A and B are shown apart, each in its own frame.
Chain A
Amino acid sequence: MNVLQLFDVTKRIGRREIVRQLNMSVRAGEVYGFLGPNGAGKTTTIRIIVGLIRPTRGTIHVCGHDVERDPVSAKRYLGAIVENPEMYGYLTGRQNLLHYARLSGVDRIEERIERVAKRVGLEDRIDDKVKRYSLGMRQRLGVAQALIGDPKLLVLDEPTNGLDPAGIREFRELIRALAAEGLAVFVSSHLLSEVEQMCDRVAVLQQGSVIAEASVAELRAGAGSLLLRVSRWDEATAWLRARGFEVEGKDGRLVVGDLDDARVAKLLRDLVGAGFDVYEAARTGGLEQSFLALTGAESGGDTP
């Protein structure tokens, strides 16, 4: 069942189309990555999904309810962190959760707060004022407020921004665990590695359009390139070119592009068979390659 569905969502501000004809769907139990360079329109899309921005055209359904026409029903199934989870610093963690629980229509509020605080590992500091929380604790409280209404869909906008590596890892495990419990998670990121480790499927957004949608496994197995160190590198370059490979050669090193598993195996066999010595061979990530190829690599400033 599709928990989140976008139909032809377009947002125009002034003359500029921020996002264009987005069609996406997220199933229960799935972590869906929304990948794109900064400025591609990720945040706008997220804000449209959670009802902060009205789409110019198109509709969004959360558990079958139209976010625009029937926001109260749709948002009952929704938990979100939009950019930084800003909380009320002058209130305690518990008061913050109480505040959001009241609005989410939670029945037994005290009980729910205890459970959610425990879920994110904040039960010891829940009665401290939020202004005394560290960034990691704030992030956890952010997840807690998103979970307070027992949602079916979790929408997270760049959730690991500013977290240290341990925090990122912890966060990733939490998200995977939530998905395993049946939650649908829609998470945006400009970090490829993050999406690769956290998500089941990914959509790549560029300049407001989804230019590709695939499972992470597919992308990973997809075309990548091979880094080679061989004897007689200039000869080898010519030999490979003659066989129709895309090769760049320089100072004893070769980069062979556009390869999948089968082609890599064949290339290595043939190269050795032709009498070249292979000193070193390394695959570079297929996903990264795909991502760079898809986004044209020009905006890769933030992409590792």
Chain B
Amino acid sequence: MTLWRVVQNEWMKLVRRRRLAVVVALALCLVGMFALGEHHEKQIYSRVPTQAAASADWQANAKAELAAAEAQLNLLERQSPTSAGAAQTLAALKQRVQEDRYRLAHDVAPLSPNLLNGWAETSQFVGAATKTFIPLLVVILVGDMVAGEMTQGTIKLLVVRPVRRRTLLLGKWLVSVASSAALSFLLCFAFLGVALAIDGPQGAMQPEWLNVYVRFFTQPGALQSTPVVLYDHAVVWPMWQAFVLQSALVAGAMMAVASIAFTCSVLFPSAMVSTSAAMGSIIIGFVVAAMARGQSWVKLLFTTHLSLYGDLAGGTAFTVGSPVTLAQGVAVLLAWTVVLLAAAFLRFGRQDILNA
């Protein structure tokens, strides 16, 4: 009951602060830039010569292809592959079989090569943005949730109310994560809207592979291992469904980012310092992850898993240099969130408010 009142208050303040306007303006800039890029790319694609539409006979082709692939797969599957090359061949066959089965079962023709798939374009862009722009927007939005009130001095009149400090903090945190999740989720769909408006709505049913496993083969004498995407446990989803999942995962990851920024805002009493600290920790996280690529502990950094969808669709494994699963990503983000929030609650509950 009291918590609900705190949440109402925090929401009122959040939506009326200038920070929200700044964040929305920056987000719109981002959407605009994406639209420009898409427009440009569409013009390049439109120059690709249109081939004779494969519409009528794609199913016959797919059936023939499927039969051939299945036969070949039967032969190869007897022995397990030891080299990267052999694994690659096998994986490609499995992918082909899965794709053709999906297309035939759901009656999904391949896209004509001169058409852009707006869904896939957005998915790719969101994958990049969730590791760069979106966390920064989240930090700007909630990076001073507590520090702002410390700097302004308004924290005093909050703490003297008949409300427990932990209730105040919990309310602030709930509003921080809810607004961050909502912001990033809406942003994903703003990107999608722009892409579909420019590229056209086609591609929603095109296949997308999830839950792939990336295995790293080390050749004797080779310096680097070769990643091979394996499809043994993969599932094929229609693109639109995968995109909704991706947006939800972005929202989830941004809740973790919001929690980290929120903790900074408790630990550093100056709004500017706390926002910078949160931003700095994200940037340093990226830099460290990039420099220490291949080390096993890179998987434990929260910045590695900001694209949780990448954990599921294979992208993260490539950047980390070792296999990653969605469960690992979620566990890492949760662990960071829980540990940092515990620190924030301990600190805020005991802190003497001397200078605010």
Shortest C-beta distance, A12 to chain B (Å), equals 11
B347 at the interface (CB under 8 A from A): no
Chain A residues whose C-beta falls within 8 Å of the C-beta of B161 in the assembled complex: 75, 100, 103-104, 149
Q: Is the CB of A102 within 8 A of B5?
A: yes
Cα-based distance from A26 to B17 in the complex (angstroms): 40
Q: Is the CB of A88 within 8 A of B154?
A: yes
Cα-based distance from A43 to B350 in the complex (angstroms): 19
Q: Which residue of A lies closest to B154 (CB)?
A: A86
Q: Is the CB of B157 within 8 A of A82?
A: yes
Residues 34 to 71 of chain A near chain B (Cβ within 8 Å): 47, 50-54, 71
Q: Is the CB of A75 within 8 A of B154?
A: no
Q: Is the CB of B13 within 8 A of A51?
A: no
Cα-based distance from A82 to B16 in the complex (angstroms): 25
A99-115 interface mask toward B, CB cutoff 8 Å, 1 = contact, 0 = none?
Answer: 11011110000000000
B290 at the interface (CB under 8 A from A): no
A95 at the interface (CB under 8 A from B): yes
Contact among A75, A87, A91, A103 for B5, CB-based, below 8 A: A103
Residues 118 to 168 of chain A near chain B (Cβ within 8 Å): 145, 149
Cα-based distance from A99 to B7 in the complex (angstroms): 10
Chain A residues whose C-beta falls within 8 Å of the C-beta of B18 in the assembled complex: 90
Q: Is the CB of B353 within 8 A of A72?
A: no
B264 at the interface (CB under 8 A from A): no
On whether A99 and B9 interact (CB within 8 A), knowing A53-B353, A86-B156, A145-B157, the answer reads yes
Q: Is the CB of B160 within 8 A of A50?
A: yes
A192 at the interface (CB under 8 A from B): no
Q: Is the CB of B154 within 8 A of A52?
A: no
On whether A86 and B17 interact (CB within 8 A), knowing A54-B352, A91-B12, A102-B9, the answer reads no
Contact among B12, B152, B156, B354 for A95, CB-based, below 8 A: B12
Q: Is the CB of A103 within 8 A of B12?
A: no
Q: Is the CB of A99 within 8 A of B12?
A: yes
B200 at the interface (CB under 8 A from A): no
Cα-based distance from A71 to B164 in the complex (angstroms): 7
Shortest C-beta distance, A271 to chain B (Å), equals 55
Residues 18 to 41 of chain B near chain A (Cβ within 8 Å): 18
B162 at the interface (CB under 8 A from A): yes
Cα-based distance from A85 to B157 in the complex (angstroms): 8
Chain A residues whose C-beta falls within 8 Å of the C-beta of B5 in the assembled complex: 102-103
Residues 301 to 330 of chain B near chain A (Cβ within 8 Å): none
B44 at the interface (CB under 8 A from A): no
Chain A residues whose C-beta falls within 8 Å of the C-beta of B157 in the assembled complex: 80, 82, 85-87, 100, 145
Q: Is the CB of A76 within 8 A of B162?
A: yes
Contact among A52, A84, A99, A145 for B352, CB-based, below 8 A: A52
B335 at the interface (CB under 8 A from A): no
B129-152 interface mask toward A, CB cutoff 8 Å, 1 = contact, 0 = none?
Answer: 000000000000000000000001
Cα-based distance from A84 to B353 in the complex (angstroms): 15
Chain A residues whose C-beta falls within 8 Å of the C-beta of B350 in the assembled complex: 54
Q: Knowing that A53-B353, A104-B162 touch, tell me 9 more A-B residue pairs with CB under 8 angstroms.
A: A53-B352, A78-B162, A80-B156, A80-B157, A85-B157, A88-B154, A91-B13, A99-B13, A103-B163
The 9 closest A-B pairs by CB, nearest first: A86-B153, A103-B161, A75-B162, A102-B5, A52-B353, A76-B162, A53-B352, A50-B160, A82-B156
A-B contact pairs, 7 of them (CB 8 A): A52-B160, A80-B156, A84-B153, A86-B152, A102-B8, A102-B9, A103-B2
